[in-house]
Structure 1
Amino acid sequence: MNKFSLSLFLALSISLSGCFLQDLALKKGYKKHDAGEYELALKQFKKQAASGKAVPEANYMIAESYRLSNRLKEALPYYEEALRAGAPEEMANYYYAKALVANERYKEAKDHLDYFLQGASNVEVIDLCNNYVDNLELLLAEEDKEPTYRVKNLEAINSPSAEYAPVYTKGKLYFTSNREGNDIYRATGTPFTHIWEVKTKGARVEIETAEQIKELYSNGANEGTITFSPDGKTMIFARGNTGRRKGTQDVNLYESKYRKGEWSEPKMIAASDPEAWDSAPAFSPDGKQLYFASNRNGGFGGTDIYVAKKDARGRWGNVRNLGNKINTADNESFPYLSDDGKLYFASEGHPGYGGLDLFVAERKDGKLQVRNLGKPINSPADDFGLFLFSLNKGFFSSNREGGAGDDDIYTFVNNDPELKVVNYYLTGIAVTIGDDGTEDILEDTQVQLMDANEEILGEATTNEDGKFRFRVYPAENYVLFGSKVDYLTSRTDFSTVGKTVPQERLVKNITNVVFETKIVLDKIVLDKPIVLENIYYDFDKDNIRDDAAVELDKLVNLLVDNPKIRIELGSHTDSRGEALYNQDLSQRRANSAVAYLIENGIAADRLKAKGYGESTPIAANTNPDGTDNPEGRQKNRRTEFKIIGLDARKVSAEKVEYQSKDLEERFFGGGEDEEEQ
């Protein structure tokens, strides 16, 4: 090989080697990115960008790695460069706007999206951007409002490492931190997180008592976001992100019991999905429901907030999504249920100041309303993990500027002069009427509280005293459904309209108002006639009058609520007129009533029309002296039904619909009484 050929060969080798190394950096970056190892991915993508090859793609992936590792503020210049170079991903515009918001450039974010939407083509991205523009307009309108919160860094507990998700119980503050450890979590380049506890009196921390909960420690895994049952004897927390599986799906919820002075070996709860990311658990105030965040299939996008219910054996199941009034196409997480029936949570999808913001959801005027807690509790950074110490004081987490380092724990005081609240509760009892007319208590009765649109707001099972309890809200109409095996499902109306306590009458910070009601269930007895009251017909007519239709509508409801029963609907007359004529008239009337039920959605094979004429009186048509007995004849001119069969295989389409509805308002649970009014 001559000198020229050798020089050319070396030049080509170096060039090809450079191309190979550049491509290798990009491939390695994608591999680390797909594995959720964003810190390692950043190094590769930055190496690719420095090479001068595929720079727009590398910049976009640098921005994505920052975003997905909760550093959206740092992603801004890389989204900007990727868009300037013509990044083909339309989602880049959406994320760029969010990065602008994270840097407090709200108007620029809105202006950019307004311009982008003029030529956008991806329908999903257009919907996201339109919603975000609406959010920004709401946010800009809130800028001039006077803040009611006062916020302070809890300096005694914070370090240059991360401290977040505070929970207070029984004189101790529990939190998550990566302040110690040699094992490095490759997604962030920091030590794994573990759960700590420290003695405290409110916000006065005895930092020398801080220590890890050793029973929960797992080497090479993150632990965090803890919640306690109301009695403090059960904890549920998140554990995962070991790095042993592809992606970040290996985060699950674990339960531990406090026995003989220590916490038991944690066990994964049944409600946790091994194929999903489940974290940020929170008990309801009564301990019967568990709220948490998850990215499991079937959500609205990102992480959603779900609720699980504890069964009679103490297992968590019956998981439901809280619906699209709470959850958005972005991330919702860190739910917290307060004693006054409000849901606090963190969201990137509702109108916010950048990153995660804290929101509160509550029922007002019969609707669920979501509100940003505003500045200074929210900031352009991530604000999340709220916990109330009392009605107007609490803790939360933030990685805002001015802290000790990474995520910090903050305290807050709410100085809202109208913070006084009224808790409304509905207590009740389930009974059945015995043959002697006395009331018998019904335990293990399933009771559902529904709003006027028959959407489920709460569920309960009566105890040995037949009692149940729900939280209710001012100026609303409700329906209570009671069901029990071998009994007819019953519905009872209740309303709080006109029963609201005026704000000016409130003296105490918390006032509890308790209403009472009763649910009566009839035992299913075959062939036992039940008289339908107020079913009247015009003389010698068989058409359904308006007043009779009102009563038949109640029978429609009963048949809908009890899909397994088949009934005979019978019509009776008094003894006036010819017996054959009365027989025909009663049959026509029974037919008309059955036709009405069919027209209102009841299947014909569940109904039988029977005319009895004057053959089965329940009272005397005449007095002993032969004179007319108007009262007796009135009783005999009746319509009644009786159950003639049961079909356990039938399923009520209406009940299925109730169960499948979004449960965005389901979280409003109980709370302990403090003062009664």
Structure 2
Amino acid sequence: MKTKHTNSFYKTAGRTALCLFACTVMQQATAQVDLRIKQAEQYYAAGDFLTAANLYEQYLKPSAKEKPKADFPLNAKHGRQGSSMGKGVTKNDLLYKQAESYRLAHYLPQAAERYKAVAAADMANYAHALYWYAVCQRALGNTTAAEESLNEFLAKATANDPYRAAAENELATLKFVKQQTVRPDTVMYTFNKFTLSAGAEKGAFAPLHIGGDQFIITGTEKDTVAQAGVNPNHNRLYAVSLANNVLHVSEPVALGADAYTNQGAATISADGKHLYFTQWKTENGKQVFAVYHATKTAEGWSAAAEVSTVNKGGSSKHPQLSADGQYLFFSSNREGGKGGYDIWYASVNADGSVGEAVHTGAAINTAHDEQTPFYHSATKTLVFATDGKAGMGGFDLFTAKGEGNNWSTIENMGYPVNSVRDDVYFFTSDKQNLLKNAVFSSDRGSECCLETYTVTKAPKKKIFTGKVVDKKDNQPVANAIVLINANGKQLKVTTDANGRYTTEIETDADGTVTVSKHRYAEKQSGINIINTDESDWSSTKFTNNDIVLDRKIILTPETVVTVYFDFDKHNIKPDAAFKLDSLYDILVKNPGAIVQISGYTDGLGSEEYNKILSDKRAKACADYLMAKGVDSARISFESFGACCPVEMELINGRDNADGRAKNRRGLINISYPPKEEE
């Protein structure tokens, strides 16, 4: 289980606003220094953690003109043993609250520094600061420091310490991180980061591709007039164009938001007529989320309206249409879930209206938060972020195959898609491949805020293999020629000493396999995969069913009738007809006798053409005998092209016409039934 270190996932929608508010400081022209502490508490309660952290900083480190306050004005926390500055709370109390503020605002270096200072100054009362210090260090990529701090905390913690289980889970997270970062298949991933055009300071996350180089992203704008206790930065939807991995941001999409309202995390229908997005504001110190719908008109977007079927109780956010447009997935903490935010879905009608919501079930959801869903219709894969499953820390992206509330076991998408920070808002416009030019948001590369990345994973090689065996003794047939026809492409390979053929195939294994070998009847069969092995990180091995070859009757001079053909012809000449008539008489006198006809050509012409011509010559002999009344069941024929010449066609580099003439032949083997023993 991941360590849950956020109250809810409003950070994925509002953290960019906090990031841009890093340097905002409330300047109060009053002699009452404690007003900043009261305001810090107000901002903290409202979820504006960065402003709270800055106000704590002003009080803890006053300017040179201010005299340090003798005591702290908040209600005393009795029993503290730290360096109390008079009656009331200690300096460490406020330093710890500042560390919490920085952590929740995702300024982790600042948070780690203060957690460490508090733990060093007051271990008796703030031993659990070691735990939070470790969480920050893990998220900063300092796994060694994180592990040392966790072990130090666990050595001091009692058996019933409320942080013990969380610390043990965090150690498991560090173990998972170490396993993931040494995976060999990381070389198959290609990443790019979207940056913002010069002068654009709006942030960019939750990307939505709307066609070509056009995207809609969630960014931030700042109100012109700041109000005490109100965060002046608000999330808005922006239309942007992409060029060379740079997002060029335009004006916000006009959707009727006021100065107190945030909008973001949008999804749009394939025809571009219906836009669904999250809208939220702070009410009574609590952020309330709802999903809204707007329709495209000739004048622009219509006034946004709540999607009532989605917003039934609790908060709902992060709407995302399935790729086929049939369902709207979203995250909600409404009743009927597993706890926290869960993934829900509802059918979408042709007019854009949304049906009743359905829970995706226990296989997907946990008691923690599941959010930012995306459903890839082609592969029937749900991608979502959760902090309720073992992962690399923060929110990881997971996948599950299925539909409705019937899902396979969920799988962590693993490193490098996931990081030790938060990885959310996955999306791809590719209709076939989940990890081809996919985009997602992550704060892995920043001090605090979500940024947009693209990722493509190179497909695994597809290896096609099989075995050729002899029908009589089931022994491998070496040096057989194997022609593989798969989806319009032909590959030619030769079996090894173990009768096995192996080749890389670019498409799914679907087609035919034709095997030929001297003294064996040619065999063609459809591809029949009997095993698929995906254990190798770089390739998937498809094993074909064994191909069994029949041996041909070995021809002997005593039983062979030879007929000859003119160059590039397959008609029966008079002398050939004489021999075939004589053969017919033998077959009439020996009802049990059968014949095998083999057609050959000279060495001129292509292999493919000669195969066809030799087949026509063998068939011509068979047709001649059947026309005279020989039962077709007594006749078989094979074609060998230019195989097995009986005469040299070149002598001392010069053409041997007589030799070629003798190679243009048909061989007819007569087999008699075995004599009964006396």
Task: Give the alignment's TM-score, normalised by structure 1.
Answer: 0.52
The 8 Å contact of residues 103 and 354 in structure 1, kept in 2 or not, is answered as no
The 8 Å contact of residues 38 and 187 in structure 1, kept in 2 or not, is answered as no
The 8 Å contact of residues 34 and 246 in structure 1, kept in 2 or not, is answered as no
Superposed counterparts of 1:15-30, under 5 Å? 24-30=35-41
Residue 502 of structure 1 deviates from its aligned partner by: 4.9
After superposition, the Cα gap between the structure-2 partners of 1:128 and 1:207, relative to the gap in structure 1 and judged at 3 Å, is: closer
* 1:401 is aligned to 2:401: no
**What's 2:103 paired with?**
67
Quick one: percent identity of the two aligned structures?
25
**What's 1:36 paired with?**
47
Partner Cα separation in structure 2 for residue 27 and residue 311 of structure 1: 50
**What's 1:517 paired with?**
none
Partner Cα separation in structure 1 for residue 336 and residue 127 of structure 2: 24
The 8 Å contact of residues 392 and 420 in structure 2, kept in 1 or not, is answered as yes
The 8 Å contact of residues 39 and 229 in structure 2, kept in 1 or not, is answered as no
Q: Count how many residue pairs are aligned between Structure 1 and Structure 2.
A: 403
Among residues 189, 203, 227, which one is paired with 1:149 in the alignment?
A: 189
Question: Once the two structures are superposed, what CA deviation does each residue of 1:626-657 show, in whole Å capped at 9, x if it has no partner?
Answer: xxxxxxxxxxxxxxxxxxxxxxxxxxxxxxxx
Residue 46 of structure 1 deviates from its aligned partner by: 2.4
After superposition, the Cα gap between the structure-2 partners of 1:206 and 1:95, relative to the gap in structure 1 and judged at 3 Å, is: closer
Question: Once the two structures are superposed, what CA deviation does each residue of 1:578-629 show, in whole Å capped at 9, x if it has no partner?
Answer: xxxxxxxxxxxxxxxxxxxxxxxxxxxxxxxxxxxxxxxxxxxxxxxxxxxx
**What's 2:457 paired with?**
414
The 8 Å contact of residues 195 and 245 in structure 2, kept in 1 or not, is answered as no
**What's 1:174 paired with?**
216
Residue 38 of structure 1 deviates from its aligned partner by: 1.8
Question: Once the two structures are superposed, what CA deviation does each residue of 1:339-380 show, in whole Å capped at 9, x if it has no partner?
Answer: 3122222334444444443333346998413213312x4444
Question: Once the two structures are superposed, what CA deviation does each residue of 1:304-361 show, in whole Å capped at 9, x if it has no partner?
Answer: 4333455899654644554565445554322211231222223344444444433333
Superposed counterparts of 1:71-90, under 5 Å? 71-84=107-120, 85-86=122-123, 88=125
Question: Once the two structures are superposed, what CA deviation does each residue of 1:51-83 show, in whole Å capped at 9, x if it has no partner?
Answer: 566222112211222222233443212222333
For structure 2, the 5+ residue unaligned runs are 1-30, 62-67, 69-84, 464-527, 535-678
**What's 2:375 paired with?**
337
- SS of corresponding position for 1:225: strand
- SS of corresponding position for 1:61: helix
Residue 183 of structure 1 deviates from its aligned partner by: 5.5
- SS of corresponding position for 2:412: strand
After superposition, the Cα gap between the structure-2 partners of 1:156 and 1:26, relative to the gap in structure 1 and judged at 3 Å, is: closer
Structure number with higher relative contact order (C-alpha < 8 Å, ≥ 6 residues apart): 1
* 357-366 or 340-349: bigger deviation: 357-366
Residue 301 of structure 1 deviates from its aligned partner by: 5.6
After superposition, the Cα gap between the structure-2 partners of 1:69 and 1:226, relative to the gap in structure 1 and judged at 3 Å, is: same
Read off the aligned partner of 2:399 and give its amino acid letter: V
Superposed counterparts of 1:484-503, under 5 Å? 502=532
Partner Cα separation in structure 2 for residue 368 and residue 181 of structure 1: 45
Read off the aligned partner of 1:345 and give its amino acid letter: F
After superposition, the Cα gap between the structure-2 partners of 1:208 and 1:135, relative to the gap in structure 1 and judged at 3 Å, is: closer
Superposed counterparts of 1:250-269, under 5 Å? 250-260=288-298, 262-269=300-307
Which structure is larger by alpha-carbon Rg, 1 or 2? Answer: 2
Partner Cα separation in structure 1 for residue 238 and residue 148 of structure 2: 44
Read off the aligned partner of 1:143 and give its amino acid letter: T
The 8 Å contact of residues 288 and 315 in structure 2, kept in 1 or not, is answered as yes
Task: Give the alignment's TM-score, normalised by structure 2.
Answer: 0.51
- SS of corresponding position for 1:210: strand
After superposition, the Cα gap between the structure-2 partners of 1:265 and 1:366, relative to the gap in structure 1 and judged at 3 Å, is: closer
- SS of corresponding position for 1:335: strand
The 8 Å contact of residues 332 and 349 in structure 1, kept in 2 or not, is answered as yes
Read off the aligned partner of 1:80 and give its amino acid letter: K
Read off the aligned partner of 1:176 and give its amino acid letter: T
After superposition, the Cα gap between the structure-2 partners of 1:219 and 1:499, relative to the gap in structure 1 and judged at 3 Å, is: farther
The 8 Å contact of residues 163 and 406 in structure 1, kept in 2 or not, is answered as no
**What's 1:387 paired with?**
427
The 8 Å contact of residues 131 and 149 in structure 2, kept in 1 or not, is answered as no
Read off the aligned partner of 2:153 and give its amino acid letter: F
Among residues 265, 269, 291, which one is paired with 1:225 in the alignment?
A: 265
After superposition, the Cα gap between the structure-2 partners of 1:108 and 1:166, relative to the gap in structure 1 and judged at 3 Å, is: same
**What's 2:332 paired with?**
294
Partner Cα separation in structure 1 for residue 125 and residue 363 of structure 2: 32
- SS of corresponding position for 2:287: coil
* 113-122 or 130-139: bigger deviation: 113-122
After superposition, the Cα gap between the structure-2 partners of 1:81 and 1:366, relative to the gap in structure 1 and judged at 3 Å, is: same
For structure 1, the 5+ residue unaligned runs are 1-19, 421-497, 505-677
Residue 101 of structure 1 deviates from its aligned partner by: 1.0
